[in-house]
């Protein structure tokens, strides 16, 4: 049974898998993972590779305080999930 998915932005419950080339180029954790997009508002989330739950919201202006690198459903942790501050070398492309 897969994890229940609820959009943190709008409360939507219908999602589909999407490929976002810009986010893949910007965030290596997106390049290596799966994105789900909320059908209601368009918000994109990285999916936990272990249980399928929505792990963290991903968007172009992602800030460190918004990033979740631990799945709230199963506890899976990915230390490679992190935001870029825009000035230092991009940790997602090192």
Q: Tokens for 59?
A: 């968007």
Question: For the segment 56-88, what is each residue's pLDDT rounded down to a tens digit?
Answer: 999 888 787 888 999 999 999 998 888 765 556
Q: Determine, yes or no, domain membership for 5.
A: no
The number of folded domains in the chain is 1
What is the rounded average pLDDT of the residues 37-45? 96
Separation CA 91–CA 25 (nearest Å): 12
**H or E segment to which residue 21 belongs:** helix 21-26
Instruction: Find the domain containing 34 and state its range.
Output: 15-84
Q: What is the CA radius of gyration of the chain?
A: 13
State if pTM tops 0.95.
Answer: no
Question: For the segment 9-30, what is each residue's pLDDT rounded down to a tens digit?
Answer: 999 999 999 999 988 888 888 8
Q: Determine, yes or no, domain membership for 91.
A: no
């Amino acid at each position: 049974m897969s994890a229940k998915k609820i959009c943190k932005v709008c409360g939507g419950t219908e999602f589909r898998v999407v490929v976002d080339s810009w986010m893949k180029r910007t965030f290596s954790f997106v390049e290596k993972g799966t994105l789900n997009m909320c059908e209601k508002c368009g918000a994109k989330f990285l999916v936990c590779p272990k249980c399928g739950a929505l792990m963290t919201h991903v968007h172009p202006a992602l800030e460190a305080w918004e990033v979740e690198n631990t799945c709230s459903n199963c506890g899976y942790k990915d230390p490679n999930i992190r935001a870029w501050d825009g000035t230092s070398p991009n940790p997602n492309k090192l």
